[in-house]
A and B are shown apart, each in its own frame.
Chain A
Amino acid sequence: MALLEVKNVRRVYSTRFGGNKVEALKNINFSVEEGEYVAIMGESGSGKTTLLNILATVDRPTAGEVLLKGENLVAIPEKELARFRREHLGFVFQDFNLLDTLSIEDNIYLPLVLAGKKYQEMNGKLNGLASKLGIAQLLKKFPYEVSGGQKQRTAVARAMITNPDILLADEPTGALDSRSADDLLNSFTDIHEKGQTIVMVTHSVKAASHAGRVLFIKDGEIYHQLYRGNLSNEEMYKKISNTLTVLLSGGEVND
């Protein structure tokens, strides 16, 4: 059984008085296996953020179901969602979303503190993670004192410290310069190689080229997907670029 299964998901937005209806997602079907690294690509307005929001349980589909380890996310009552997110999902956002009042260390602890864990336990988890992500020297600093790349790696540490079933990343390289972006993507690859399942939404070809599989979404539908196979990052980059060109020009993709 796949780790994550998205079945017939449809999301329709309607204006307050039910006038105009916009179909953000039409009929989405895909699944993610345990340990997979999946990138979802698409232009702005394609529906990729809506899809990620539904996976993140922040938004609910109009129809269809999302199963994580067989549990239907759509059926989880509102009250328990926060706890569910905390226990099963890890998030990395484009704009970091670190609390400026907490030190780097405390920012990483945040989800564990909310889960009521003891300090010793949290501290034990932190050390390995921090050195792996290259932020071990920064733990006592505050977000305003570190660079964007360091902030984003802090956010990754925060997402990873709960050992989530899936790491969801929303344009994680969007606010980073290219060097920091490379560092971050390498970190993602490392994490993935240790067995972490990652689903990343991006429109950066470079970011997507690190993934094992790339889903293309257009006008609310999965339009196409690419498998890495044995390709190197560069080859994958080229393949994705070609696909995008075809997609943008509106033609069919011939593989």
Chain B
Amino acid sequence: MTRKLYYSLAKNNIKKNKSTFFPFLISILIMVAMFYIISFISYEVSHAKGFYGMEPMEMILQFGTYVCGIFAALVIFYTNSFLLKQRSKELGLYSMLGLEKRHIAKVLFWENCIIGLAGLAGGLILGILFSRFMSLLLFKMIGTSIKLGFSIPTISVMSTILLFLAVYFVNFVVANIRVARLKPIELLQSEKKGEKEPKANWLLAVLGIVSLGIGYYLSVTTKNPIKALNTFFMAVLLVILGNYLLFISGSVMLLKVLKKNKRFYYHKSHFISVSGMTYRMKRNAVGLANICILSTAVLIILSSTVCLYMGIEDVLHQQYPRDLRIVCDVKKEEINTDKMEKIVQQKVKKAGKETLQVKKGYSFNYLGCKGKNNHYMIAGTFDVDNMQYLTMYSLEEYNQLADNDNKLPELGEKEIWAYDEKGTLKDRQKIFLADEAYTVRILKQEQFQQMRDAKKGLYFDTDESSLGETINFFLPNVKELCKMKKKAEQLEKKGNFSYPTFQYAYAFNMSEKNAKKMETFVDNLEKTLKEAGLDSQIRSLVVNRDAFYGIFASLFFIGIFIGSLFLVTTVLIIYYKQISEGYEDKERFRILQKVGMTTEEVKKVIRSQILQVFFLPIFLASLHIAFAFPCVEKILEMFLMSNRTLFICCTVGSIFVFLVGYGIVYKLTAKTYYRIVGTNN
């Protein structure tokens, strides 16, 4: 009998507070559905061994599942405690009416049950319905079609149920603690608290600006991509800190300054806004700062993952300019290139194909530190700041590759051709390679470009690599390259920390688009070459394309998922903020109308207030993104993605999509707000 009472009380509460419970239910629904879908896809990918590159995908999706789970839990937890705070008065009333705390707990328990179970069940159904569609979408993005039947993996269902039941349990415990701690009088008053005028804290505001400034500075000035990740985290932390401080005290300070300006403050269109905002900021600073951080995160995640996905072909062609590239490590002396070529030609012919656009040649790469006074290839410990990438080619070989107009003249004794994009080297300058002096002859930019085109497809394109600055050298012939390699080896024996590689590369196109056939061909060729004593690595564009698509599409997918989760959260926070304020503002606007403000004027004030609250975080988020841009770009370069135009487009596109979504929420919220405040008619 009594149990029924609590149940019906809970049911009534939900019915009466539709405008708060309904969005909560919807958000639980979305969270549950999304978590189920991502764990479903993760499950499916891990059980669909079928194409190259599944493993990294599996890992990414697994990771994405955890992130989504944690995030969904946090959002529901946050929303629940927010709602609880809002309802203090109502709970206080129960207490006054004679319900004991354990009775209130029971009512809350039933409320949680109804909303939670409805959300869980509905979310699961929604998730199951959409899971198939989403996995098809992912596989479509990867570009592979894998035949899979309709399935509902028990493990996904169970993990979803367990996760959300655990979250509900924690919520319930928190609610109990909250109810147990408050006295009825406090329950009744807790909404009235904090009516004091907020004080501006100059120190905190200045600290916020400084922290934001340093964060921005770090982001903009990052040069070294290997270091960028650390710097990025540092910058992120500083910006987050600065963001909170600015919202909390910077905003109040700004409003105080505005208030001091009598001419500005005592103006019809500023008076109500400025004074209202002062209070509003005090109560909502943290919420708005949250929204700002979330929006920034959504936008960065979205734009970078979209950019990675859209730029796959770019990255692929940069990594694999030819269909096939055979790279042999040169151990001692030159290798038998004729023998290798012969084997390759035979194999290709046997497969019924031709070797097209062949390019071949030696290259010596050295990643180490540079010393003072143009000393390169020095002994010493590894140091990220002084990292220098050197690539050396044979002039003889280059002249064979290049057409007549672009052939380079022979070099004199101890002379080398060089080019570095930064222009730190001057013509006829002396430099030292492993303590041996050389006179540098500088290539013209056009010549370098020709050289680059000529060797394109043959070598890994180090000029655009993310590993650091590169200097390109031309030594007279392969023999000189061999000598250079020996010097590097001697240095290594002295304990030098560097990465010398001396390779012979043979690259060509063969019009084979089928990844499976290509894979067999590559395996076969590799074996034959090994039998002939030629240890080699063969890289194929076609074979690796799947892997790339797998990785980048999963990243994209996770990006969209986490982005949507963040968006739902943002929307929820804004909605609740606006609604709860609506009830307080109602009284204020009633007074204003009595004192002689027209409905039109009241509406104008309301509009400007909502607009400020809505678009201030977005404005700041855009600013954060603008300053994060260089840093994120460098991090993308680590994924070999260096297409600035594409990244700008993706960023702008993401902001646009986000703004559209945000605008819709704004419209809906404003409508509810007007209804509450009562200026609808």
Interface on A for B, CB 8 Å cutoff? Answer: 58, 79, 81-83, 85-86, 91, 93, 97-103, 106, 109-111, 113-116, 118-119, 122, 142, 144, 158
Distance in Å from the Cβ of A138 to the closest Cβ of chain B? 14
Q: Is the CB of A86 within 8 A of B268?
A: no
**Interface residue B591 (Cβ < 8 Å from any Cβ of A):** yes
Q: A82-B593, A142-B197 are in contact. Are A99 and B598 (CB under 8 A)?
A: no
B563-592 contact mask (Cβ, 8 Å, vs A): 1 or 0 = 000000000000000000000000010111
**Interface residue B266 (Cβ < 8 Å from any Cβ of A):** yes
Tell me which residues from 186 to 229 in chain B have a Cβ below 8 Å from any Cβ of chain A: 195-197
Task: Output the nearest chain A residue to B279 by Cβ-Cβ distance.
Answer: A101
Q: Give the secondary structure class of B's interface.
A: helix
Q: Is the CB of A101 within 8 A of B268?
A: no
Task: Output the nearest chain B residue to A159 by Cβ-Cβ distance.
Answer: B595
A96 CA to B648 CA in the complex, in Å?
A: 56
Q: A114-B268, A119-B266 are in contact. Are A93 and B594 (CB under 8 A)?
A: yes
**Interface residue B385 (Cβ < 8 Å from any Cβ of A):** no
B581-613 contact mask (Cβ, 8 Å, vs A): 1 or 0 = 000000010111111111111000000000000
**Interface residue B669 (Cβ < 8 Å from any Cβ of A):** no
Task: Output the nearest chain A residue to B271 by Cβ-Cβ distance.
Answer: A113
**Interface residue B278 (Cβ < 8 Å from any Cβ of A):** yes
Distance in Å from the Cβ of A44 to the closest Cβ of chain B? 21
Which of A106, A114, A122, A144 is within 8 Å of B601, CB to CB? A114
Distance in Å from the Cβ of B613 to the closest Cβ of chain A? 15
Chain A CB within 10 Å, residue with most, of B197, B263, B600? B197
Q: Write out the residue numbers on chain A whose beta carbons fall within 8 Å of the beta carbon of B278.
A: 101
Q: Is the CB of B268 within 8 A of A106?
A: no
Q: Write out the residue numbers on chain A whose beta carbons fall within 8 Å of the beta carbon of B332.
A: none
Chain B CB within 10 Å, residue with most, of A101, A110, A118? A101
Distance in Å from the Cβ of B255 to the closest Cβ of chain A? 11
A86 CA to B279 CA in the complex, in Å?
A: 26
Which of B262, B588, B599 is within 8 Å of A101, CB to CB? B588
Which of B267, B275, B596, B599 is within 8 Å of A83, CB to CB? B596
Which of A58, A93, A101 is within 8 Å of B275, CB to CB? A101
Q: A113-B271, A119-B263 are in contact. Are A97 and B601 (CB under 8 A)?
A: no
Q: Is the CB of B595 within 8 A of A158?
A: yes
Which of A81, A91, A101, A122 is within 8 Å of B595, CB to CB? A91
Task: Output the nearest chain B residue to A143 by Cβ-Cβ distance.
Answer: B195
Q: Write out the residue numbers on chain A whose beta carbons fall within 8 Å of the beta carbon of B268.
A: 113-114, 116
Q: Write out the residue numbers on chain B whose beta carbons fall within 8 Å of the beta carbon of A110.
A: 271, 592, 595
A140 CA to B664 CA in the complex, in Å?
A: 41
A211 CA to B331 CA in the complex, in Å?
A: 114
Q: Write out the residue numbers on chain B whose beta carbons fall within 8 Å of the beta carbon of A158.
A: 595
Q: Write out the residue numbers on chain A whose beta carbons fall within 8 Å of the beta carbon of B56.
A: none
List 7 additional contacts besides A81-B598, A100-B195, A113-B266; criterion CB under 8 Å. Answer: A82-B593, A86-B595, A98-B591, A101-B279, A110-B271, A110-B592, A114-B597
B256-282 contact mask (Cβ, 8 Å, vs A): 1 or 0 = 000000110011100100011011000
Q: A99-B591, A101-B279, A114-B268 are in contact. Are A86 and B596 (CB under 8 A)?
A: yes
Q: Is the CB of A82 within 8 A of B601?
A: yes
Q: Is the CB of B276 within 8 A of A82?
A: no
21 CB < 8 A contacts A-B: A79-B600, A81-B598, A82-B597, A83-B598, A85-B596, A86-B596, A91-B595, A93-B594, A97-B590, A97-B594, A97-B595, A98-B591, A99-B275, A101-B278, A101-B279, A110-B592, A110-B595, A114-B268, A118-B266, A142-B197, A158-B595
Q: Is the CB of B596 within 8 A of A111?
A: yes
A122 CA to B266 CA in the complex, in Å?
A: 10
Q: Is the CB of A99 within 8 A of B263?
A: no
Q: A82-B601, A119-B263 are in contact. Are A114 and B591 (CB under 8 A)?
A: no
